[in-house]
């Protein structure tokens, strides 16, 4: 390069910034050649960047005529092309040219855009190779931009352990780094029924972030609110809502959607509806969250009404919209309406049914007792049914006592998921319900042969803003003695009200009295007992359970709500049950 370095406000460069078409770009390019501006690195980088956004082939043509492009120029074009999906492969080709160059090597500005491109398919697998290049070409304590890009990449890959390791290497994480690690935990927490630790870690990390004096933004709050939703942590979720308002953060549709989802999953559907109505801009995601809220609370008609309102407003339903709408029908037995939604997917909305939609259809038919029809749908699907679909059919077979279908389905499930305990437990329940104890033992032996243990029941209850977790038969709580005294009182009063324990729910061939004791120590029963002694006598009891509520706990919770005059709100792995004055919101259709 020769001549003085032209300033960024050179008149020709100002014209370059205004170029929108190839013709105007070529005119400015010609002027840069005649004036010699093209021989300077900065003007070259600008024309490469702008031409790559107009016609990328022109940018490549310019680049290929540069005698000895610097790494700065390579980085400019790589950065521009890497995140334009059709051109990502060209960015990687340019990177390969850098690697084969005799004098050039990648630097800290080469990697961030490439890692960003690796955050989605089909480039996901290339990220790890890039990581090895970072270790090869940069200092071990590489610059913060590369560290942040690595952190963000592993977050999108779902590698929470790698994310945390990288995050811990950053001496002073900025807001982007905090948001990446928080999002990594949230996006990989899955459902509460699997593991609460990731969502709890989000709350802990947020406290650390506040101590570091980094000010949260909307992205931070979406992660925090989403974690509260998974935990059913209403107090913390409401605090996050207040934080948004107090710190003048935008209640945009991302934050609004997260809050609607949180209030729905914490059992406050009225607050979710209120917030939904107040949002000035509602997109498909907002509608999905609200329809999903109606679905899990068993308000099928309201969900269908909102679905219709959404389409009348001109918003196109997506995959998720159709899933939550069909689920809302399934929970209340709106079979024909749910089937109509399924049939309209492709014909009306142009959405090709996926496994999730077939799963909803099978669940819809199965719950309604139309087992043969559900089985037919599974066998005639255009794709191979997965374990979720077979398990829906098995659950329906258990509810309606169809042992023949149950046994067939279990064979498929053992092939697909030999390690999942719930599949065996469902069939064991079916055998136990008709006193076929030899078959119960056979299924339990199958579990033992595969090295499978039954997933223990776990219940979270929020009291005084703190989350308390109980396992079946748990005696680790500091107030365990009081809890078990309360359990005895609850059992006594249930008997006084004529409650007959549904001992068929217990899988063991043991005496009836022992079965009754086993039912009394279920995790949600312990959580209710604790809430009765530790919370205000007028406060609703809110419980999050990792498994489906058993029949006996469902019946007893209805009675407990009447005996103690307390509303009990239970979210199990499928839906909400609002127990009040001796009745449940599900109307026993669950």
pLDDT of residue 566: 95
CA distance 257 to 275: 9
Domain housing 522: 458-584
Q: How deeply is 496 buried, as exposed, middle or buried, from its count of CB atoms within 10 A (0-12, 13-18, 19+)?
A: exposed
Q: Select from 332, 408, 337, 340 the least CA-distant residue to 371.
A: 408
Q: Select from 443, 523, 427 the least CA-distant residue to 475.
A: 523
Cα angle 578-580-585, degrees, rounded to a multiple of 5: 40
Q: What is the CA radius of gyration of the chain?
A: 29
* 341 located within any domain: no
pLDDT in single tens digits along all 590 residues of the chain: 444 455 566 788 878 888 888 888 888 888 888 888 888 888 888 888 888 888 888 888 888 888 889 999 999 999 988 877 788 889 999 999 999 988 899 998 999 999 988 877 888 888 899 999 998 888 756 678 898 889 989 988 888 999 999 999 888 899 989 999 999 999 887 546 446 788 889 999 999 999 999 999 999 999 999 999 998 889 999 999 999 999 999 999 899 999 999 999 999 999 999 999 999 889 999 999 999 999 999 999 999 999 999 999 999 999 999 999 999 999 999 999 999 999 999 989 999 999 999 999 999 999 999 999 999 999 999 999 999 899 889 888 888 889 889 889 888 988 888 878 877 887 787 888 788 888 888 888 888 887 877 778 889 998 988 889 999 888 999 999 999 999 999 999 999 988 877 655 555 443 434 444 556 688 999 999 999 999 999 999 999 998 888 888 899 999 999 999 999 999 998 899 999 999 999 888 87
* 375 located within any domain: no
Contact 463, 431 (CB under 8 A): no
Last residue of a domain, one of 265, 281, 297: 281
- Cis before 159 (ω within 30): no
Whole-Å CA distances, 290 to 148, 241, 366, 587: 34, 17, 25, 22
CA distance 487 to 322: 43
Give the SS3 label for residue 463: strand
Length of the chain: 590
Domain count across the chain: 2
Give the SS3 label for residue 460: strand
CA distance 527 to 544: 10
Strand bridging mode 568-571 / 541-545: parallel
Last residue of a domain, one of 281, 302, 326: 281
Q: Select from 136, 85, 158, 80 the least CA-distant residue to 113.
A: 80
Contact 240, 204 (CB under 8 A): no
CA distance 12 to 40: 13
* 90 located within any domain: no
Q: How remote is the C-alpha of 400 from its chain's centroid?
A: 31
Last residue of a domain, one of 281, 310, 345: 281
* 513 located within any domain: yes
* 360 located within any domain: no
Contact 121, 112 (CB under 8 A): no
pLDDT of residue 144: 81
Give the SS3 label for residue 386: coil
* Ramachandran angles phi, psi of 121, nearest 5°: -70, 150
Task: Please state at what angle helix 335-349 crosses helix 300-312, rounded to 10 degrees.
Answer: 20
Contact 325, 337 (CB under 8 A): no
* 385 located within any domain: no
* 386 located within any domain: no
Contacts of 429 (CB under 8 A, 6+ apart): 398, 505, 507
* 439 located within any domain: no
Whole-Å CA distances, 115 to 100, 108, 124, 149: 20, 12, 9, 6
pLDDT of residue 58: 87
pLDDT of residue 293: 96
């Amino acid at each position: 390069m020769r001549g003085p370095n032209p300033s960024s406000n050179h008149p020709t460069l100002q014209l370059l910034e205004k170029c929108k078409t190839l013709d105007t770009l070529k005119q400015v390019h010609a002027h840069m050649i005649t004036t010699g501006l093209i021989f300077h690195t900065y003007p070259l980088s600008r024309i490469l960047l702008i031409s790559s956004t107009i016609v990328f082939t022109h940018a490549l043509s310019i680049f290929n005529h540069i005698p000895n492009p610097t790494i700065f120029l390579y980085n400019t074009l790589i950065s521009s092309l890497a995140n334009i999906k059709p051109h990502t492969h060209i960015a990687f080709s340019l990177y390969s040219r850098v690697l084969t160059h005799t004098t050039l090597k990648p630097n800290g500005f080469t990697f961030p855009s490439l890692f960003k491109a690796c955050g989605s398919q089909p480039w996901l697998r290339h990220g790890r190779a890039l990581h090895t290049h970072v270790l090869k070409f940069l200092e071990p304590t590489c610059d913060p931009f590369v560290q942040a890009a690595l952190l963000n990449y592993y977050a999108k890959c779902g590698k929470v352990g790698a994310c945390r390791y990288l995050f811990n290497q950053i001496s002073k994480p900025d807001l982007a780094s905090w948001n990446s690690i928080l999002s990594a935990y949230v996006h990989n927490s899955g459902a509460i029924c699997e593991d609460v630790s990731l969502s709890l870690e989000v709350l802990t990390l947020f406290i650390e972030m506040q101590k570091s004096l980094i000010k949260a933004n909307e992205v931070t709050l979406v992660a925090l609110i989403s974690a509260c939703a998974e935990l059913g942590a209403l107090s913390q979720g409401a605090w996050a809502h207040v934080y948004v308002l107090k710190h003048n953060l935008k209640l945009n549709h991302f934050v609004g959607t997260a809050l609607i989802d949180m209030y729905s999953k914490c059992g406050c559907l009225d607050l979710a509806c209120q917030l939904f109505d107040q949002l000035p801009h509602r997109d498909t995601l907002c509608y999905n969250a609200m329809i999903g809220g109606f679905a899990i609370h068993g308000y099928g008609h309201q969900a269908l009404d909102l679905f219709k309102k959404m389409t009348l407003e001109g918003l196109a339903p997506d995959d998720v919209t159709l899933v939550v709408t069909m689920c809302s029908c399934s929970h209340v037995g709106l079979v024909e309406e749910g089937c109509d939604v399924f049939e309209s997917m492709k014909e009306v909305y142009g959405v090709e049914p996926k496994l999730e939609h077939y799963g909803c259809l099978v669940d819809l038919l199965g719950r309604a007792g139309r087992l043969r029809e559900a089985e037919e749908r599974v066998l005639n699907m255009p794709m191979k049914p997965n374990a979720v679909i077979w398990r829906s059919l098995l659950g329906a077979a258990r509810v309606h006592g169809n042992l023949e279908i149950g046994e067939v389905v279990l064979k498929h499930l053992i092939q697909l998921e030999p390690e999942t305990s719930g599949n065996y437990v469902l069939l064991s329940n079916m055998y136990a319900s008709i006193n076929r104890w030899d078959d119960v033992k056979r299924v339990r032996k199958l579990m033992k042969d595969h090295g499978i243990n039954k997933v223990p029941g776990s219940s979270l209850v929020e009291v005084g803003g703190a989350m308390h977790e109980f396992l079946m038969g748990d005696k680790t709580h500091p107030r365990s003695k009081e809890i078990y005294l309360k359990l005895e009182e609850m059992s006594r009063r249930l008997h006084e009200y004529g409650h007959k324990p549904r001992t068929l729910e217990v899988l063991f061939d043991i005496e009836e009295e022992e079965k009754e004791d086993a039912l009394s120590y279920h995790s949600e029963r312990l959580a209710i007992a604790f809430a009765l002694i530790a919370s205000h006598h007028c406060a609703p009891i809110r419980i999050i359970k990792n498994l489906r509520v058993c029949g006996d706990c469902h019946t007893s919770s209805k009675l407990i709500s009447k005996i103690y005059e307390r509303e009990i709100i239970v979210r199990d792995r499928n839906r909400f049950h609002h127990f009040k004055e001796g009745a449940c919101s599900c109307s026993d259709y669950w």
